Structure 1
Amino acid sequence: MASATSYILFPLIFSLAFALEAARPRQSNITLGTSLHPSTNPTSWLSPNGRFAFGFYPEGTGFSIGIWLVPSPENTTVIWTAGRDDLLVTKDAVLKLTREGLKLLQNSEWRLISRYIYTSTGAFSASMLDSGNFVIYDSNFNVISETFDNPTDTIMAGQVLHTGSELVSSVSETNHSSGKFQLSVQIDGQIVWCPAASPDISEDAYHSIGPYLEGYQGLNLDDNGRLYLFNGSATFNLTKGFWNRTTRVYRATLDVDGIFRLYSHNLELNTGQEVLAEIPKLTDLCGVKGTCGLNSYCTSAQGVVACECLPGFDYLDGNRTSSGCTRNFTTSGCYLNNDNTTYMSTLENVTWSVDAYTEQTYSTSKEDCRDACLKDCFCDAALFQVNRCWKQGLPLRYVIRDSTEYCATFIKRVNMSAGEGHVSSVAENPAAAPVTTTNRKFSTKILIVSVALITGIISTLAALMFIFYRYQDGRYRRMRRNREPALVDEIAPRSFSYRELREATDGFKEELGKGAFGTVFKGTLPRGQRVIAVKRLEKVVAEGEREFRTEMRTIGRTHHKNLVRLLGFCDESTNRLLVYEYMSNGSLADLIFKADRRPGWDERVGIALDIARGIHYLHEECETRIIHCDIKPQNILMDDNRTAKISDFGLAKLLMPSQTRTFTGIRGTRGYLAPEWHKSAPISVKADVYSFGIVLLEIVCCRRNMELEAEADAIILLDWVHHCFMAGELEKLVPDEVDVIELNRFVKVGLWCAQSEPGTRPCMKNVVMMLEGNVDISLPPPGFSS
C-alpha cells in the first residue's frame, strides 16, 4: 500500500512543484549560495521563457537532479540527468551553487552532483537558458561549464553531439539511469547504433549512417528540426527541415527501445509531442540488436516485443525477461549423443548473429546440419539457412524469429532421464527414443560372457572417444577462441588471438606503463576504432588453458563503475595477454603526486569513496570473492570523467607462488604491504584494507607514504599523520582549505585501516559507511604499523 501511495503522491508533488514554479518570478541569473530543495520551494530554476527547468524531479522512491521541458504542469519530459547512475536523492537534500560548482548536501555531507557540472576556475553565477542548456559562468560571465557538452540521451535544437561523443538510452520512461543502447558519432563521420555493453561497435551495430569521411564535427540539430552533419563547408542531412516557429521546441532522443526519434513540441497549442522521424525506421523492433539478452530470442507483433528463452534455458531474472537466459541443467566437459543422452530441439525461422567456431559448411538438408551438431562435442547450436550450416557454442546473441527467409535453429539438449527406464518429459524431443528395460533370465555363463563383451566394447569406445576428443580439441581450440562475445555483464570476456593484439598495438609499440604483473601497451581495435590497453603478463603460473580461462571468466563477470573493465584475453601457447578499457587520465599517482595542480578536497573525497566502493565490491559483492593484494595509487586509474577505477584486481593468483611476496618490494610498493605479508601469515581481505588505509592517507595529504626529503618526524606518512592526529594538529596535513570535520573523519578511517592486527581493521563495508559519515567512528588505538 505504501508503494502504491508513493506512485500517486510523486506525480502530485511534481505537478504542484511546476505550478508553484510557474507562479514564481522567472530568473535567468543564479547567484552563488542560491539553493534548491526536493520537497520545499524552490525545487527548480526556470529558464526566462518558462519552458525549461533545472532542479529536483521525483523518480522511484526518491528524487533525481536534471533538466526537463515544461510545456504544462501535466506534461514533463526529462532531457538531461546529473549522475544518472548514482543513488536517488532523499527529500531532505539541498542543492547549492558554490565556487566549485553545484554541490549536493545529503546525510550531512557535501559532494559535487556531477563531474560535468563543476569547475576549477571559480564559479560566479549560473543560468537555465531558453535553449534547455544549463550553464555556469565565471566572474567575467564566460561560460565555464554547460550541460550541452555532456548530453545523456537527448540533444536539443542548437546542440551538437561532437565527434567521439555518444548518447546512451535510459532504462525506462520512469528510470533515467543508463540503459541498453548507445548512439556514437565516430571520427569518420559515421553515426553508429549498437548495444551499450558492446566491445566492438563495427560487429555489433544494428544501424549506421553517415558520409564515411573525416572532418565532420558532430551531429547537429537546428531550430527547424533538421538533423545533419557538418564539416565546415558541406552538410550531410539525416532529416529534412520542418517548421521554424518560436512556439515549437525540437529534441532528438535515443529512446529506451534503441530508436533515435526526433520530437516536436507545439507549446502554442499544447498538443503534447509529435514524432517527426525515427532512425532507424524498423517494421520489426527485434532488428535492434540487444533487445533481448543472450540465449533468448526476440519476437514482435503489432509493435510489442517479447523475449523468450531457447529450449532448455530459463530466464536469468523472471521479472526482466529481456535480461537473457541460462541453461536449466549443468554438464561436465564434453558430451556426445551416447545412449540417447543428447538430442536436438528445432526452432523454425529462428536465426542469430553468426559467430561460428567452424567455417560454414554446405548441407543438402537441415537434418544433415542437425546431425552434424549432434555428433560434435563442441557444438551447442546449429543454424541451417539456404543449404548452409553453421555450428556454434554458447552463448547465442541477437537471436530473432525471421519469417523473410527460411531457416532453422537447432539447440543441443540433454535427456536427463536417459537410462532410467522411462521417457523424458520434454515435449520437444520426438527423436529421443525412450530407454526401456526388459527382464530376462540369463544363465551364469551367458551373463559372464555378456558382461565381458560389454566391458570390451565400452573400453574400446572409451579409447576411441578419448582419441576423438583430443583430435577435436586440437582442431577447434583456436577457432573456439573467437566465439565468446563480451556483450553483457554475465558473459566471459572475448578471446583474442595473439596476432590480433599484435596488430592492434602496432607490434606492442606504445608502452603505457610497467607494473608488477607485466607491461601495458596502447592499442586500437580495427574498424570500431576503440582504444584499448593491452597488458602482457609476465611470470604467469604455468596452468592449463581451462584454469586460465576460468580465472578470466571470474574477472570478466565483475562489473562495477569503480573497476576497470576486462574486455578480453589471449592465451596462445606461452602468450598470456589481457585487454582492458583504455583509461585516458592516467593513474591516481599521476594526479596526487606529479600534477602541478593537485585535485581539490571535494574531488579527493570522491576519489577515496570510489576506491572504497570498488574494493568493497571485490570483497563482498561479486560472484567470487577477490583479494586484490596490490592496492596502490599506480593501480587506481582515472577515466575521462575523473572517476577512479581499480585495475589489476584478481591477477595475484596468476603469479608464481614465489612472486606473491617478493614482487612488491622489487616494484617499489613496500609501503602498502600489510604486516602479515612479512610474517608468512595467511592473507585475507584485511590485507587490502591495510593498503587502502595507506592510500587514503596519501589522498588526504597529496604525498607519498615515504618522503626522505621531509622533516625527520614526517618522513613516514603514517607516523606523521598519527602524531598530528594525537596532537590535534591536522591542519598541518592539508595546506589548502578543507572541511575540518570531514578531514578528521577520513584520518580516523585511515588509522583504523592501518592497524597491525588484521582482526582490528574494519571490513570495507564499514569503511564505506564511515567515509560517508553514516556511522560514528571511535578513537583509533595506537596499534598501527608503518
Structure 2
Amino acid sequence: MASAISYILFLSIFSSAFALGAAQPRQSNISLDTSLRPTANPTSWQSPNGRFAFGFYPEGTGFSIGIWLVASPENSTVIWTADRDDPPVTKDAVLKLTNEGLKLLLQHSEGRLISNLSTGNDASMLDSGNFVIYDSNFNVIWETFDNPTDTIMAGQELHSGSKLVSSASETNHSSGKFQLSMQTDGNLVLYPVASPDRPEDSYYSSGTYGDGYLSLYLDDKGWLYLHQGNVASNLTSGYRNGTALVYRATLGVDGIFRLYSHDFELNTEQELKKFPEVTDPCAVKGACGMNSYCTSANGQVVCSCLPGFDYLDANRTSNGCRRNFTASGCYSNDDNTTYMSTLDNVAWMDGSYADSLSVTSDEACSDACLSDCKCDAALFKDNTCSKQVFPLRYGIRDDSTTTFIKLANISAGGWSVINSRPESPSVAPVIIIRRKFSVKISIVSAAIIACIISSLAALIFFFYRYRAGRYGRLWRNKEPALVDEIAPRPFSYHELREATDGFKEKLGKGAFGTVFKGTLPRGQRVIAVKRLEKVVDEGEREFRTEMRTIGRTHHKNLVRLLGFCDEGTNRLLVYEYMSNGSLADLIFKADGQPGWDERVKIALDIARGIHYLHEDCETRIIHCDIKPQNILMDDNWTAKISDFGLAKLLMPSQTRTFTGIRGTRGYLAPEWHKNAPITVKADVYSFGIVLLELVCCRKNMELEAEEDAIILLDCVHNCFMDGELEKLVPDEVDMTELNRLVKLGLCCTHSEPGSRPSMKNVVMMLEGNADISVPPPPGFSS
C-alpha cells in the first residue's frame, strides 16, 4: 500500500508546484501566421530563458518537429515529438501557426495539423518546457504537457489513463517497445508495448493498485510522486532546488524510467533514480521479442533465437524470431517428421495451455510434448512439465529450467525450410539436439491390406462429404435467423477478420478490449466484434461454457451475444450491432442530452435488464461492469446492457462468490476493495452510480468541478440533505420525480450490500409500485 504523507508536507509540495505555474509567462512570444522552416532561420522558437526550443530538428534523412532541452549547441535532449510515428519531413516543409492550430505544410500535399483546434490565436514556448497555444482571451487551449510522448518535465502531470511510450532508439523518436501507464486503478506500471498489459507482463509496478491515485507528478525539487486530492505517495525524495536546475523523467529506449537533473551552470546531466532498479538489462520484459531469449554482455542486451527460428530482421535482432519451416496438419511424431531440440538454462513466461504435468525426468517431459499434436514446446523445472504453444515470451537465463522445442526433421519428410538467416549470437546458452527416431517394421501383406482399406475409406469419405455438403448449404441458407434462435456459435478468427475487413472500423475501446464493426457474409447482417485483450485467461472449456450460458439470455434490454472465438490466444465476442451508440455518448456530451422522460425510461430499461440477469436467467449472472459505456441504444432508442466479457456466473445454489476485481473504477462497490464475497448487490451499487449520472447528465468524477462537487455521489448526498436538488440537473424537471430518483440512487449505493435494494425492488420503485426509504449517508466513494 502507498504511504500517505502529512498534510503539511502535501502543502509544501503543491505550493512549489503552484509557484512554478504562477511563474510561467502569460505574454505571447509567437504571433499568428508566424512560420518556421527546417533550413532557414528561424528553425525554432525558444523559451524566454533560452533553455527550451520548439521547431525542426534533424532526424534520419529529414527533419522532425518537437521540443528539446538546449544544454549546448552540441548537446540537446528531445523531450517531445509531434506526430512521432509519421516519417520525417523534407527541407521544403513549413510549420505555421494558424487560427486552426499548428499546421505543417508539405510540398505536393495539403499538409496536416499538429494541434487540431477550432480557434487559436498566439502561442508561447514557456520556460517550463511546455509549448502552449492561447485563444483570443489568453486562455490556454492546447499544450504539449497534455500530450506527452516519452518524457514529463517539472510541473507536468501524467494523468490517469495516460501513458509514456519510449522512443525506438536514441536517434529515432518514433514509438518504441515500452510504455509507462498511469492506470485508472491507481497503479503506475511498466509494460512492453506489444503485450496485453496483464499483471504477468509488467516488469515494474508502484504497488498502489486500488489506492485511488489519479496522476503522476514531477515538481521543481525533483519530487516524483503519485497523488489524488491531498494524499500522495512518493516515488523519490526531493533533491536540490535552484534557478539553474531542471528536472525531467524519461522512459528510455531500454524500458527503464529514469529521473534526471540538468545543471545549466555546469552544463551537466545527472541520473538520480531509475525504475526498476536493476543491473541486468534482461530484467526488462520485452528487451527481446517473441521466440527469442535475452542474455547480457557488458551491460548490453544480446537476443538469440530459439532452435529452428531465424530473426524477423537481422539488422534489428531485438524484434524477435520466427520459425524457418512451415508446420501443417497434426504436428506430432507419428511419422518421424518431428523431433525435440533441447535448450538448457533458459526460462520463459509460463503460458501453458494445459495443467502442468508431474514427471520424473526431462526426457518424460520431452516425450509428452512430442506426442501431443498441439504442443510446440515444453518447460521442465523441478520435475514439473508445462506444455506451451508459440510464441514464447520473455526468455532469460535460468539455470534450473530446460526448454524443449519441437522441430521438423527435413530428411525424414518433414516440412521445408522457408528462408535462411544469420545464426544467433554465440553468447547464447549451449544447445543440445536430441533426435528421437523409432524403427517401424512393416510387413508387405499388411501394407497391401492397409492400402485397400484406405482406398475404401477414401471413397466412403468423399461420398459422405458430398452429401454433407448439400445439407450444409441448406443449413447456411437458413442463417442467421435459425442460428440466432439456438445459441451463440463459434467463429474462426479468419471468419471474424474477414467480416471486419481486417478489424478496420473501430467502434470503441474499453479497459478489456476493442470493438469493431463487421458484416456477416450471409444475410449481410451487421455485427459488433469485441476483441478481448486483458481478460483473465480462463480455460477453453470454461470460456465456452460461460459463452453458451450467456448466449441463452433473451431479453429486450440485453444485447444479444451471437457468437464467440477462442482460437489459440484469440478471444473475441460477436454481438448484435447497436446503431445509436452508448449511453455515455448520449448523456456526457455538452449538447443534445435526452429529456427527463427519456432519462427515466432509460433507467427503467437498464434496471429491467439487470433484474433479468440476477433473477430470471437459467444461471444467475453478475454483470460486474455496469457503466454508461456498456449501455447501448438500439434503433428505437431502447437501452440494452452489453459487454458480458467480465460477467461472473453463479450456480443455482450460490448467492455469492469470490473473484478478483472486475469492472471499472468509479462504479465498483466497496466490497470489491475489501476482499469480501461478491453478490448481485455489486451490480446494484454500479446501477446506483449510473442512475445518478443519468439524472445529473455528468460523470461520477469530474476533476474540473469545484472541490465539493468532484465526486458525484458525495455532491448528490450533500444537495439532498441541504434540499438543493435543483443544482444537480441541467434542465427543469418534476422535483417530486427528481427527489424519488435521487433517493433511489443513494439507496443503491449504500456501503453495506445487505442494505441495498434488490433489482426487483428497484424496478418496482422506478415503476412507482413501491416506496423508497430515506437513504443514509454514503459510506464509501469509489
> What band does the TM-score fall into relative to the shorter chain?
0.5 to 0.7
CA change 1:389–1:39 in 2 (3 A) is: same
Partner residue, 1:275: 271
Structure 1 residues 648-695: Cα deviation after superposition (integer angstroms, max 9, x where no partner): xxxxxxxxxxxxxxxxxxxxxxxxxxxxxxxxxxxxxxxxxxxxxxxx
State the AA in 2 paired with 1:171.
Answer: A
User: Are 2:412 and 1:418 equivalent residues in the alignment?
Assistant: yes
Residue equivalent to 1:232: 229
Q: Does 1:250 align with 2:258?
A: no
Are the counterparts in 1 of residues 376 and 406 from structure 2 also a CA contact under 8 Å?
A: yes
CA deviations on 1:123-162 (whole Å, 9 max, x unpaired) are 1210000000000111111111100001000000110001
1:683-722 superposed matches below 5 A: none
| Residues in 2 aligned to 1:332 and 1:511: alpha-carbon distance in whole angstroms | 30
Q: Which residue of 2 aligns with 1:180?
A: 177
Per the alignment, residue 779 of structure 2 pairs with: none
SS of match in other structure, 2:199 = helix
The 5 Å alignment of 1:7-86 reads: 29-86=29-86
Q: Which runs of 5+ in 2 are unaligned?
A: 1-26, 415-422, 424-430, 458-489, 495-501, 504-508, 538-550, 552-557, 593-782
Structure 1 residue 313 corresponds to structure 2 residue 313: no
**1:283 Cα deviation (Å)?**
2.5
> Structure 1 residue 429 and structure 2 residue 433: aligned?
yes
1:118 corresponds to: 116
CA deviation vs aligned residue, 1:746-773 (integer Å, no higher than 9, x gap): xxxxxxxxxxxxxxxxxxxxxxxxxxxx
Conserved? CA contact 2:526–2:576, under 8 Å: no
Q: Which amino acid aligns with 1:322?
A: S
Give the count of matched residue pairs: 481
Asked whether the equivalents of residues 45 and 55 of structure 2 are also in contact (C-alpha less than 8 Å), the reply is yes
1:47 Cα deviation from its structure 2 partner: 0.3
- Which of these residues, 116, 126, 130, is aligned with residue 129 of structure 1? 126
Aligned partners of 1:503 and 1:322: how far apart in 2? Answer: 29
Return the offset for 1:586: 8.0
**1:182–1:193 Cα contact (<8 Å) kept:** yes
1:297 and 2:293 matched? yes
1:101 aligns with 2:97: no
Moved more, 450-459 or 299-308: 450-459
In 2, distance between residues paired with 1:459 and 1:595?
77
Please tell me whether the aligned partners of residues 562 and 575 of structure 2 are also in contact (alpha carbons under 8 angstroms). no
| 2:282 aligned counterpart, secondary structure | helix
- 2:670 aligned residue: none
Distance 1:236 1:460, change over 3 A: farther
| Aligned counterparts of 1:98 and 1:577: Cα–Cα separation in 2 | 44
Superposed counterparts of 1:676-687, under 5 Å:
none
Alignment partner of 1:239: what SS?
Answer: coil
> Is structure 2 residue 329 aligned with structure 1 residue 333?
yes
Q: Distance in 2 between matches of 1:217 and 1:343?
A: 53
CA 1:528–1:334 in structure 2 vs 1: closer, same or farther (change >3 Å)? closer
Q: Secondary structure at the match of 2:318?
A: helix
Among 402, 421, 428, which residue is 1:408 paired with? 402
**CA separation of 1:365/1:64 partners in 2, compared to 1, >3 Å: closer, same or farther?**
same
Query: Which one-letter code corresponds to 1:75 in the other structure?
Result: N
How much has 1:303 moved relative to structure 2?
Answer: 1.2
Instruction: Tell me, yes or no, if structure 1 residue 142 matches structure 2 residue 114.
Output: no
Structure 2 CA distance for aligned equivalents of residues 537 and 317 of structure 1: 44
* Alpha carbons 1:518, 1:538 under 8 Å: kept: no
Partner of 1:453: 446
Residue 452 of structure 1 aligns to which amino acid in structure 2? Answer: S
Q: 2:466 — aligned with what?
A: none
Shift of 1:520: 3.3
Residue 750 of structure 1 aligns with which residue?
none
- Looking at structure 2, the residues matched to 390 and 454 of structure 1 have their Cα atoms a distance apart, in angstroms, of 38
AA partner of residue 373 (structure 2): C
Q: Aligned partners of 2:456 and 2:225: how far apart in 1?
A: 66
2:149 counterpart residue number? 152
Residues 135 and 183 from structure 1, CA distance in 2 versus in 1: closer, same or farther, beyond 3 angstroms?
same
Secondary structure of 1:286's counterpart equals: helix
Q: Does 1:165 align with 2:162?
A: yes
Q: How does 1:466-485 map to 2 (within 5 A)?
A: none
State the SS of the aligned residue for 1:31: coil
Aligned residue among 386, 396, 399 for 2:395? 399
* Corresponding residue of 1:755: none
Q: Which amino acid aligns with 2:129?
A: G
String of CA shifts for 1:552-610, please: whole Å, max 9, x gaps: 99xxxxxxxxxxxxx94448xxx7899xxx999989xxx9xx999xxxxxxxxxxxxxx
CA 1:174–1:514: 2 relative to 1, 3 Å? same
Task: Rate the CA distance shift 1:393–1:33 in 2: closer, same or farther, 3 A.
Answer: same
Alpha-carbon distance in structure 2 between the residues aligned to 1:58 and 1:391: 49
Cα offsets for 1:705-744 (capped at 9, x unmatched): xxxxxxxxxxxxxxxxxxxxxxxxxxxxxxxxxxxxxxxx
Distance 2:561 2:224 in 1: 50
1:111 CA displacement: 3.2
The equivalent of 2:205 in structure 1 is: 208
Corresponding residue to 1:266 among 253, 263, 268? 263
Question: 1:42: Cα distance to partner?
Answer: 0.3
SS at match of 1:359: coil
Amino acid of the residue matched to residue 416 of structure 1?
I
Contact 2:352 2:386 in 1 (8 A): yes
Give SS of 2:368's match. helix
Q: 1:521 to 1:60 in 2, by over 3 A?
A: closer
Q: In the superposition, relative to structure 1, how do residues 276 and 527 fare at CA in structure 2: closer, same or farther (>3 Å)?
A: farther
Indicate yes or no: 2:528 matched with 1:520: yes
Shift of 1:189: 1.2
Residue 350 (structure 1) aligns with: 346
Change in Cα spacing, 1:570 to 1:40, as seen in structure 2 (3 Å) is: closer
Whole-Å separation in 1 of the counterparts to 2:65 and 2:180: 23
Shift in Å at residue 82 of structure 1?
0.5
Amino acid across the alignment from 1:412: K
Amino acid at match of 2:304: E
Deviation readout 1:439-465 (Å, 9 max, x if unpaired): xxxxxxxxxx9411344578999999x
Query: Hey, what does 2:363 align to over in structure 1?
Result: 367
Once the two structures are superposed, what CA deviation does each residue of 1:242-272 show, in whole Å capped at 9, x if it has no partner? 111111111101111111011111111112x
Q: When the two structures are superposed, what TM-score results if normalisation uses the length of structure 1?
A: 0.55
Report if the CA contact (8 A) 1:133-1:148 is conserved: yes
Work out the CA distance in 2 between the residues paired with 1:289 and 1:397: 9
* Distance in 1 separating the partners of 2:87 and 2:370: 48
- Deviations along 1:325-366, whole A, 9 cap, x unmatched? 111112221132235322111111111111111111111221
Q: What secondary structure, in the 3-state scheme, does the structure 2 residue paired with 1:429 have?
A: strand
Q: For residues 609-664 of structure 1, what are the alpha-carbon distances to aligned partners after superposition, in whole Å with 9 as ceiling and x for unaligned?
A: xxxxxxxxxxxxxxxxxxxxxxxxxxxxxxxxxxxxxxxxxxxxxxxxxxxxxxxx
Contact 2:196 2:534 in 1 (8 A): no
Does the aligned pair in 2 maintain the 1:104–1:111 contact within 8 Å?
Answer: yes
Kept after mapping to 2: 8 A contact 1:383/1:409: yes
In 1, distance between residues paired with 2:121 and 2:582? 32
Compute the displacement of 1:514 (Å).
10
CA change 1:303–1:577 in 2 (3 A) is farther
Amino acid paired to 2:231: A
Secondary structure, aligned partner of 1:30:
coil
Q: In 2, are the aligned partners of 1:202 and 1:528 still within 8 Å (CA)?
A: no
The answer (yes or no) to whether the contact 2:104–2:112 under 8 Å persists in 1 is yes
Matches within 5 A, 1:713-752: none
For 1:61 and 1:450, the matched residues in 2 are separated by 69
Measure the CA separation in 1 of the matches of 2:326 and 2:534.
36
Given residue 102 of structure 2, which amino acid in structure 1 is its aligned partner?
L
Are the aligned partners of 2:288 and 2:394 in contact in 1 as well (CA < 8 Å)? yes
CA 1:291–1:528 in 2, change beyond 3 Å: closer, same or farther?
farther
Q: Deviations over 1:19-71 (max 9, x none)?
A: xxxxxxxx961111111110010000000000000000000000000000001
Structure 1 CA distance for aligned equivalents of residues 172 and 405 of structure 2: 36
Query: Percent of aligned pairs with the same residue?
Result: 56
Which residue identity is paired with 2:445?
A: A
Instruction: Tell me, yes or no, if the aligned pair for 1:382 and 1:392 is still in contact at 8 Å.
Output: yes
1:190 aligned to which of 175, 187, 198: 187
Change (3 A) 1:189 1:459: farther
Aligned in 2, Cα 1:416/1:519: closer, same or farther, shift over 3 Å? closer
| Distance in 1, Cα, partners of 2:559 & 2:333 | 40
